[in-house]
Structure formats: C-alpha cells, structure tokens
A and B are shown apart, each in its own frame.
Chain A
Amino acid sequence: MNHWEQFEALAARARDESGPHIDVTARVMDELRRRAATPVVDWPLRLFSALSAAAAVTVAVLAIQACTVDPLSGLFATFTMVMQ
C-alpha cells in the first residue's frame, strides 16, 4: 500500500464518523441580539468620507481648469510681447 492508498483507506473509514451533538441555538441568538443592540459608531467613517469627497472635488476642479487652459498660450503670449 503506498501513501496515497493508505490515505484513501483511512479517509473511507473516517467518512462513517458522525459529528458531535451540539446545540448553539441560544448562543447564536444571543450573539445576534448583542450585535443588534450595539449601536454602530460610524461618525469617524462619515467624517473621513466627507473630507475625502471635498478633496476629490477640489482636485477635479483644478484638473478641469488646467485642461481647459492651453498650456502653450502663456508661452506664445510672452513671445508675441517680446516680438512687438
């Protein structure tokens, strides 16, 4: 019998085992009640979300402004002024 066959023989025998008799009903219901009774403290998360959103909006506005201005226009304006 090689190792794998040994494993399969043991696994086949092990399959007949039944699990332990347990009763966790009361514990589960208590845990769910406890969780429902605990207020969720989420104000730090809300504050952080608001700050992140404000920062994102600022960056977006600056980015749009930068995109709408022709980057070469400043350079040409200076050049034209010098030529004149």
Chain B
Amino acid sequence: MTADLLDQQDVRAAMAGDGEAYRRLVTRHQPALAAYLWRFTRDRRECEELVQETFVEAYLSLGSYRGRSPWSHWLRKIATRVGYHFWKARARQRTLLGMSAEAWQRAAEMSREMEAAEAAEAVHVMLARLAPRDRLVLTLLYLEQCSVAEAAELCGWTQTMVKVQAYRAKRRFRKLWEAEEGKR
C-alpha cells in the first residue's frame, strides 16, 4: 500500500474517531513537518510547539479535508499558516536579531565550506529582518525550492501575487543590505 493510500485510510479512521489512526499519522509525518517548520524557527522548543500546533489544527479541521490532494500537502498548507502567524507575532522582535552586513558577507563567501546548519542559521538571521510576507515567499522559493504554483498553493495566494511578492521581497532585501553597507 502506498504512503498516500495509507494516509487516506488513517484520515478516514481518524475522522470516525479512531485516535490510534491519528497517532499513526502524527508519527509518520512529524519528521518532514519538523524539517519544514525548522525554516520558521531555529529554536528546537519553538519548533516542537509549531509542529504540535499544526497537528492539533489539522485534527480540528479534518472535516474540511476533501482527499483531492495528498494529506501531506494539506498538512503543509496548515504548517505554512502556523509558521507565518508565528513570524507575524514575532515581527516586532526582528530588529533585535542582528548580524552585520560584514559578518553576513563573510558567511556568504564561506558558504561552500560551511556546514549546512551554519548556512541555514545565517539565512535565517538575514531573512528575519524582512517583513513576514517577504520572508515567507523567499523561504518557500529559495529554501524550500517550491515552484511559483506550489508556493501559491501553500500561501493561499494567486501565482501572480507570489511573483509580485517575490519581486518586491528581493528588492527590499537588496535595499536592506545596501543600507547596512552604508552604515559601515
């Protein structure tokens, strides 16, 4: 039985009140979900909370799952919403996260020798300075390597909106770093 069929079967059972079926879904999908939500926070405890919140929200809206797409896609859409709201709540703190333009440039130059986790940390700090919408679109397109259509589906936006948002986010990103360089 394919993973998708197994999911559909467990989703139907969970909707009928089978707790064990939902437990199996959580166990099966949490590694992928944790990896995805790790893009939204670098704090393990926060990541656990986001994963938990996603599964709880998913359970509460199981009735709206129509089974037209794999359950994992539907779950990722919920996770995107949970992560985005988390960023919005944290937006006020973004000025507190800091990495100088110089330090970031050094990190970028050494990117090939860097550990993936270090590079991810540098990217996270960098993107944290952008508004949540800009951050979301850049994360999906450049870190998750989603296509425009996939990003649109995850965000609940139109494809045109994703393109426009990505264009603006890139422009703001450049401006931000030009301003940082100007401070030096």
Contacts and interface: CB of A to CB of B under 8 A. Distances in A.
B38 A24 contact: no
Interface stretch (A10-18, A55-63, A67-75): A10-18
Given A10-B122, A24-B52, A19 B38 contact: yes
A15 B124 CA distance: 12
B38 to A, nearest CB: 4
Contacts, number: 109
A42 interface: no
A28 to B, nearest CB: 4
B51 interface: yes
Given A11-B142, A22-B44, A4 B170 contact: yes
B143 A15 contact: yes
B173 A27 contact: no
Contact of B30 (A6, A11, A16, A25): A25
A3 B180 CA distance: 11
A27 B123 contact: no
Given A1-B109, A19-B36, A19-B38, A24 B55 contact: yes
B38 A13 contact: no
Interface residues of B, number: 44
A7 B119 CA distance: 10
B2 to A, nearest CB: 22
Contacts of B26: 24-25, 28-29
A16 B109 contact: no
A15 B140 CA distance: 11
A7 B123 contact: yes
Contact-residue size bin, chain A (C-beta under 8 Å from the other chain): 20 to 34
Given A8-B142, A14-B116, A25-B26, A20 B38 contact: yes
Contacts of A13: 111-112, 114, 116, 119-120
Interface in B80-116: 104-105, 107-109, 111-112, 114, 116
Looking at A2, A14, A27, the one whose CB has the most chain B CB atoms below 10 A away is A14
B63 interface: no
A6 B105 contact: yes
B104 A6 contact: yes
17 contacts: A4-B170, A6-B104, A7-B173, A9-B111, A12-B111, A13-B114, A14-B123, A14-B143, A15-B145, A17-B38, A19-B34, A22-B30, A24-B26, A24-B52, A25-B27, A27-B52, A32-B59
Interface of A: 1-4, 6-25, 27-29, 31-33, 35
